[in-house]
Amino acid sequence: MGVNELSAVLWRERELLELLTFKLEEEQLLLTAGRSRWIDHASREVEQVLQRLRAVGLERSMESAAVASEWGTPSDAPLREIVAAAPAGPWGDILAAHLGAMLELTTQIAGLRDENERFLRAAARATQETLAGSVGDTATYDGRGAAGPALAGARIFDGNL
C-alpha cells in the first residue's frame, strides 16, 4: 500500500465518474427525444456504474488511510488534507490534479442528475395529465349487477336492502 496504489485507485474512480457522466448524458438524450422505451435500460446502467463507484470508493478509503498515516495525517483525513500533507516532490501535484478533476466531474454529474430529474418529473406529469384526460364517463353497476350509465349527483347507500 502506498501513494502509487492510491493514484491508481483515483484514476479508476475518475474513469468511473466520466462513465457516469456519459450515462447520465445518454439518459438525458433519451428523455429529451421522448424515447421512454429505453429509460429503464439507461437508468439500470447508471445504477451499475454507481455500484462500481461505491466499491472503488471503499478501496480509495483504504488506500487513503494508508497514505495519510504514512504522511502524518489522521487516517480518516479527506483527500484535500492528504494533498496538503504531501512531501516535496510530484505526488502532491498528482493527487491535487486527481482531486481537481474529480471535483469538476462531480459538479457536472450533479447538474446532469438535477436536469434529468426535472425531465422525469415533467414526463410523469404529462403522462398523468394524458391518462386523466383519456378517462371518460365511467359506468356504475345497478342493483342487478349490470353496467349502467354514470350517475351524476350524490348517492346514498342503504345497508338495509
pLDDT tens figures, 45-75: 999 999 999 999 999 999 999 999 999 999 9
Q: In 3-state terms, what secondary structure has residue 102? A: helix
Q: What is the mean pLDDT of residues 33-43?
A: 89
Rounded percentage of the chain residues whose pLDDT exceeds 70: 83
**Mind listing the domains of the chain with CATH numbers?**
3-135 (1.20.58)
What whole-number distance in Å separates Cα of residue 149 and Cα of residue 132?
19
Q: What is the mean pLDDT of residues 1-5?
A: 90
Which residues is 148 bridged to in the sheet?
140
Other beta carbons within 10 angstroms of residue 19's beta carbon come to 16
**106-124 burial code (b ≥16 CB/10 A, e <16):** eebbeebeebbeeeeeeee
Q: Who wins on pLDDT, 36 or 54?
A: 54
Cell output for 144: 342487478
What's the pLDDT at 69? 94
